[in-house]
Amino acid sequence: MKKYQDIRDAAFEANMQLPVLNLVLFTFGNVSAADHSLQVFAIKPSGVAYSELSPEKMVVVDFDGNTVDGELRPSSDTKTHAVLYKNWPEINGIAHTHSMYATSWAQSLRDIPIYGTTHADHLTVDIPCAPPMDDGSINGDYEYETGFQIIDCLTEKQLDYREIEMILVGSHAPFTWGKTAAKAVYNSAVLETIAKMALLTEQINFESQKIKESLIRKHFERKHGPDSYYGQ
C-alpha cells in the first residue's frame, strides 16, 4: 500500500545498516520505522537474512502489535517496539541488536559508566541497564513486558526518552531509538563504541574514575546546546 512506502523504505534502509556496521550476526537484530499519524510502524520480518530483505518484505504493524500489511511474520521483538511507540510519541525509529560489547555489559547487569568525552558527546549520564524482569513477566507476554521493562527503568532513574536514546536490557541486549530509524541505528553504533571503550578503560585501569562533571557539560553542550559548534 502506497501510504506505507515511506516507513517501508526507512525500515529497510536502516535494517541494512546493521550488518554494514558490524552490529549483527545472521538474522539477529531488527529496526523499525514508525508513522505516528497512521499509528503504525514497519519492521523487519522474522528470520529473513539481511541479503534477502527488501522494502516490500517489511511488515507493517499497528501500535498493539497487529499486522496490518505484509506477507511475512514480523520480528519476534515486534511487541516491544509497539509498546515503546505507543508510550513515546516523539520517536520514529527503534533498533535492537545483540552487538558484542553492549550485550556484554547487559549480561553483566551494569550501567556503562561515563568515562570520557565520546560518551559525554551523546549523553550526560551512565547508560542505564534495566534489571532482568521477574518470572511472572518472563512467563507472561514476554516481548510486551520487555517494552515496560525499558520504560520503567527510565522512569525509575528519572530519565527522559527524548534525551536518553539507548538502554541495556539486563541479561539480554541493547535497544536504541530516535527521531528516525536511521538515528536509532546511529545510536546503536555509538553505544557499541562507548561499550567497547568502557571495557578497555576498566581493563587498562580497574580504578578508572568517571569523567568530571565540568567536562560532561562542556562536551554535551557544545554538541547539543543553543550555541553548539561541534561538527567533527
The nearer residue to Zn ion, 77 or 165, going by C-beta atoms, is 77
> Cell numbers of 21, please?
556496521
230 is catalytic: yes
CB 96, min distance to Zn ion, A: 6
Strand (E) positions, the chain? 30-35, 40-43, 59-62, 67-69, 93-96, 129-130, 166-169, 174-178
Task: Give the range of 53-61, 65-73, 112-120, 165-173 binding Zn ion by CB under 5 A.
Answer: 165-173
Map the footprint of Zn ion across residues 97-156, applying CB under 5 A.
none
Cα–Cα distance for residue pair 93/90, rounded to 1 Å = 10
Out of 64, 134, 141, 230, the active site residue is: 230
CB 197, min distance to Zn ion, A: 23
Out of 77, 121, 161, 186, the active site residue is: 121
CB 164, min distance to Zn ion, A: 19
115 is catalytic: no
The nearer residue to Zn ion, 18 or 216, going by C-beta atoms, is 18
CB 98, min distance to Zn ion, A: 6
Give the count of residues interacting with Zn ion (CB under 5 A).
Answer: 1
CB 180 within 8 A of CB 117: no
The nearer residue to Zn ion, 82 or 173, going by C-beta atoms, is 173
Cα–Cα distance for residue pair 145/83, rounded to 1 Å = 9
Environment class of residue 191 by beta-carbon count within 10 Å: exposed (0-12), middle (13-18) or buried (19+)?
buried
* DSSP per-residue letters across 142-191: HHHHHHHHHHHHHHHTT--TTT--EEEETTS-EEEEESSHHHHHHHHHHH
Cα–Cα distance for residue pair 190/102, rounded to 1 Å = 10
Antiparallel, parallel or unpaired: β 40-43 and 59-62: antiparallel
- How many Cβ atoms from other residues are within 10 Å of residue 94's Cβ? 33
Task: Give the range of 57-65, 159-167, 171-179, 183-191 binding Zn ion by CB under 5 A.
Answer: 171-179
The nearer residue to Zn ion, 113 or 147, going by C-beta atoms, is 147
The nearer residue to Zn ion, 76 or 205, going by C-beta atoms, is 76
Task: Give the range of 150-158, 172-180, 191-199, 222-230 binding Zn ion by CB under 5 A.
Answer: 172-180
- Residues in contact with Zn ion by the rule CB under 5 A: 173
Question: Catalytic residue positions?
Answer: 121, 230
